Structure 1
Amino acid sequence: MFKFLLSTLIFLSVSIVFAQDNFEKSLDSVQTLDDVTIFFEKNKKAKGKVIVFNKVKHHTRMAEAIFGMRVGAKKSFSDAPQKTYYKVIEKYKIPYYKVSVVFLDGNKKSIDEINAIRKKVMAKYREGYMFTDLASQYSMDETAKRGGDMGWFKEGDLHPEFEKPIVNGNYVADDIFTIDIPEIKAYYVVVMTQEQQLIDEVKVLKVTEPRK
């Protein structure tokens, strides 16, 4: 009886190690985003997704460790009772933009009222008023609470008609200008708070090893 139990235990241990080896080999084969799809088709019990780490937005120890890894490298974290792997799929730099705005709602004000407010905001800014104060006073959406700050964004994150003049306008920090999006009745005064920056990003496959 003891020999049978011992044999069974050894068999189970070997099976688990073999399964772990197969899982890691399958994970090692992942080199591209297309490979990620194939990986999950072969490992249906595995739970995971591709996530993006941004050098400006993410400052955790884990993010620092991942930015230090080469493409194709993987790192495991022991999240009991299951192990979680992070594998670097892509590393690249991408242009990001940072602006602050005064948003004016065309559903609530006429175009004449909007233009009068924008003229006043731009004049006060050029006189030396802080744009954060002007946004807090005049902006008509939640950005007013942040002094107009839109945060860092990349092309494709926001409405294309909002992004277009920012991406293509060759503006420098502290430049002030207007943007109109009549089809959604959105009107803006915009200040470039920082010039375009190329920011490091990493695409990582985060996957938890399936339970045995």
Structure 2
Amino acid sequence: MKKISLLILVIISINSLHAQRNLFKNSFDEYKDFGISKSEAKAYQKEGSLSVFNKEKHNTKLAIKLFNKKVGKSVKNKNHEGKIEYKVIAEAENKHYRINYIFFDGNKKSYEQIEEQREKMIKLLDSNYKFESLARQYSMDLNKYKGGDSGWFKFGSVMPDFGNAITNTMYYANEVFRVDIPERDWYYLVKKSHTPKNIKEILVLKTVE
């Protein structure tokens, strides 16, 4: 009986941490950033698979080789899949954003409880408490283990309401503010931790013989 109760608690905890796992997985046309139309992308996908490599996120040996190639050039490898070709189809510099955030799950707490907790956190931050430490203690998603660091992301990869809030020019560097998405019961305390910047990305076509 104790084992069953423990399992239930673990499942509840996991579900809570994954409650808004889709925040950075908003459906958008990523190929448009490279000047590739949907029809062109579909044509490439008939040949193989398309992947986006990001200069900040990808630092494998393959990624480094590809970033040193010009558009139209390729890197060839051979493994258990067969002969593989990675061809650089397009490149672009796209604006990316980066923040720290604390997520509150409205399915687990009432809005009044969330707002009370956010008020307390803001007071702690005014007393020089570290935002990252609060995120590790209180954020209700897996990003808590990174101190709430979102990593670099594009505007289109998040929900419009969230994107509009975190790109609002009225907020200064390192300013902390609230963002609410009540229709999904997602509530946040956000720190504008990084200045937006353009990051080089390449679109790569992988084909296997």
Range of TM-score over shorter length: 0.7 to 0.9
Contact 1:33/1:89 (<8 A) preserved: no
> Relative to structure 1, is the Cα distance of residues 188 and 72 closer, same or farther in structure 2, using a 3 angstrom cutoff?
same
Query: In the alignment, which residue of structure 1 is the partner of 2:113?
Result: 113
Name the amino acid aligned to 1:150: S
Query: In the alignment, which residue of structure 1 is the partner of 2:126?
Result: 126
Matched, 1:173 2:207: no
**C-alpha distance in 2, partners of 1:81/1:159?**
37
Bigger share in strand: 1
Using the size of structure 1 for normalisation, the TM-score is 0.73
1:48-85: CA deviation from partner (whole Å, max 9, x where unpaired): 20111100111112111111111112232233673211
**C-alpha distance in 2, partners of 1:191/1:104?**
15
In the TM superposition, residue 194 of structure 1 has moved relative to its aligned partner by 1.1
**C-alpha distance in 2, partners of 1:40/1:156?**
22
Q: Any residues of structure 2 matched to 1:31-50 within 5 Å, and which?
A: 34=39, 37-38=42-43, 48-50=48-50
1:158-202: CA deviation from partner (whole Å, max 9, x where unpaired): 222211111233544311111011111111100122111111100
**C-alpha distance in 2, partners of 1:119/1:77?**
55
Contact 2:90/2:202 (<8 A) preserved: yes
Seq. identity, %? 37
Contact 1:32/1:89 (<8 A) preserved: no
> Relative to structure 1, is the Cα distance of residues 159 and 36 closer, same or farther in structure 2, using a 3 angstrom cutoff?
closer
> Relative to structure 1, is the Cα distance of residues 110 and 35 closer, same or farther in structure 2, using a 3 angstrom cutoff?
closer
Query: In the alignment, which residue of structure 2 is the partner of 1:98?
Result: 98
Contact 1:172/1:194 (<8 A) preserved: no
In the TM superposition, residue 40 of structure 1 has moved relative to its aligned partner by 6.3
Query: In the alignment, which residue of structure 2 is the partner of 1:14?
Result: none
In the TM superposition, residue 38 of structure 1 has moved relative to its aligned partner by 4.2
Partner SS state of residue 189, structure 1: strand
Query: In the alignment, which residue of structure 1 is the partner of 2:142?
Result: 142
In the TM superposition, residue 36 of structure 1 has moved relative to its aligned partner by 6.0
Structure with greater Cα Rg:
1
> Relative to structure 1, is the Cα distance of residues 89 and 118 closer, same or farther in structure 2, using a 3 angstrom cutoff?
same
Which consecutive residues of structure 1, in runs of 5 or more, have no partner in the other structure? 1-30, 42-46
Partner SS state of residue 195, structure 1: coil
Query: In the alignment, which residue of structure 2 is the partner of 1:22?
Result: none
Partner SS state of residue 84, structure 1: strand
Matched, 1:64 2:68: no
Query: In the alignment, which residue of structure 1 is the partner of 2:26?
Result: none
In the TM superposition, residue 115 of structure 1 has moved relative to its aligned partner by 1.4
Deviates more, 1:125-134 or 1:140-149: 140-149
Partner SS state of residue 195, structure 2: strand
> Relative to structure 1, is the Cα distance of residues 37 and 189 closer, same or farther in structure 2, using a 3 angstrom cutoff?
closer
Which consecutive residues of structure 2, in runs of 5 or more, have no partner in the other structure? 1-35
Name the amino acid aligned to 2:52: V
Runs of 4+ in 1 over 4 A off after TM superposition: 31-41
Query: In the alignment, which residue of structure 2 is the partner of 1:187?
Result: 187
Query: In the alignment, which residue of structure 2 is the partner of 1:28?
Result: none
Aligned length in residues: 174
**C-alpha distance in 1, partners of 2:45/2:182?**
44
1:4-35: CA deviation from partner (whole Å, max 9, x where unpaired): xxxxxxxxxxxxxxxxxxxxxxxxxxx98755
Using the size of structure 2 for normalisation, the TM-score is 0.74
